[in-house]
Amino acid sequence: MANEADDNTIYIGKKGTMAYVLAVVTQINNGAKEILIKARGRAISRAVDVSEIVKNKFVTDLKIAKIGISTEEIHPEEGNPLKVSAIEILLKK
């Protein structure tokens, strides 16, 4: 799923869900036809919340075009590499 929406990728982190909802809705209102939502670890649940809220409440003609899950390796500055699950959700108008 790489490169499908490089310029319209939103990384879900530790902010409140509605901050990311607003970011997605803003990009769509600015003309984006697709948005790629990415998250790792515990933020995965929030990525699903963001996608569902945008689709159900704000942009009802939005479709969930693709969902992918994967495992990524993180290399912290100290200590051993960590494996963490990741999700990508591609939203399309």
Residues engaged in binding its own copies (CB under 8 A): 41-45, 48-49, 51-52, 56, 64, 67-71, 85-87, 89
Q: For the CB of residue 65, give the shortest distance to its own copies in the complex, in Å.
A: 12
> How far apart (Å, rounded) are the C-alpha atoms in residues 47 and 10?
10
Q: 5 or 44, CB closer to its own copies?
A: 44
- Who contacts 40 (Cβ-Cβ below 8 Å, separation ≥6)? 72, 84, 85, 86, 87
Q: Pick between residue 32 and residue 67 the one whose CB is nearest to its own copies.
A: 67
Q: Which is nearer to its own copies, 28 or 88 (CB)?
A: 88
CA distance 89 to 69: 9
* Cβ-based nearer residue to its own copies, 24 or 43: 43
> How many CA atoms within 13 Å lie on the side-chain side of 9?
13
Please, what is the minimum distance in Å from the beta carbon of residue 17 to its own copies?
10
Report the C-alpha gap between 93 and 86 in whole angstroms: 23
Q: Residue 72 Cβ, how far from its own copies at the closest point, in Å?
A: 10
